[in-house]
Amino acid sequence: MSMSVKRKLLFVFFLAIFLAGSYFAYVQLHPFFLPDTTPAQTTVPPPPPPPVVTPYVPPSAPEPAVQIPEEEEPDEEEPDPGLVLPVGRLVLTRERTEYVNKSLTLVIPALDKVIPVHDGTSEAVLHAMEAGLYEYAQLPGWGTRNVSLAGHRNTSRGGIITDNAPFYYVDLLKEGDYLYLHDYEWVYRYEWESCFIIEQDDWSVIRTTEYSVVTITSCHPIGISNQRIVVRGRLVEILPYQPGFDFIPSRIDNTATSAD
Q: In sequence order, what DSSP letters do the residues of 144-188 get, joined into one string? A: S-EEEEE--S-EEETTEEES-STTTTGGG--TTBEEEEE-SSEEE
Give the domains, in start order, of the chain with CATH numbers.
94-240 (2.40.260.10)
For residue 101, what pLDDT band results from cuts at 50, 70 and 90?
very high
Whether the Cβ atoms of residue 218 and residue 227 lie closer than 8 Å to each other: no
Distance, in Å, from the CA atom of 56 to the CA atom of 118, rounded to the nearest integer, reads: 37
Distance, in Å, from the CA atom of 138 to the CA atom of 104, rounded to the nearest integer, reads: 12
For residue 169, what pLDDT band results from cuts at 50, 70 and 90?
very high
pLDDT tens readout for residues 90-99:
999 999 999 9
The more confident residue out of 101 and 39 is 101
The more confident residue out of 15 and 133 is 133
The more confident residue out of 24 and 260 is 24
pLDDT tens readout for residues 30-47:
555 555 554 444 444 555
pLDDT at 104 over 70: yes
pLDDT at 65 over 70: no
